[in-house]
Amino acid sequence: MRKLKAIRESDTGNIAEFKETQRLFMGKYLGMWIFDFCERIRRNTEIRFYKTLSGCVSSFIAHDRDNLNSSIARSGLQFERRRESPR
């Protein structure tokens, strides 16, 4: 709710804070394992649904990360990009 309020009010300080929190979560938690996990699913299952789902999850997270990186770069912050497993 605070993020929505900050966006509505063009509160760039709070918006930057929320982006930094998202960046930290991505780098410290989700980004540490999600791409390898999705790759292991693709390599180790014969079920097409799970292969497709793991590709979608990997693509979505990469897209979200890249959008966050672009947004942070425009605001002067930096985000370290982790290695992404090949598809």
> Mean pLDDT, the chain, as a whole number?
79
pLDDT value, residue 82:
45
What would the pLDDT profile of 4-18 be if each residue is shown by its tens digit? 555 555 656 667 778
Q: Is residue 85 part of a domain?
A: no
Residue range of the domain that includes 29: 2-75
In-domain check, residue 87 = no
pLDDT at 81: 47
Q: Is 37 among the domain residues?
A: yes
- Over the Cα atoms of the chain, what is R_g? 16
User: Residue 23: which CATH number?
Assistant: 1.20.1280
| Better pLDDT: 59 or 85 | 59
Please give the model's pTM, rounded to 2 decimal places.
Answer: 0.67
Q: Residue 82 domain-assigned? A: no
Number of domains in the chain: 1
Q: Is residue 61 part of a domain?
A: yes
Q: Is residue 29 part of a domain?
A: yes
**Model confidence at 78: pLDDT above 50:** no
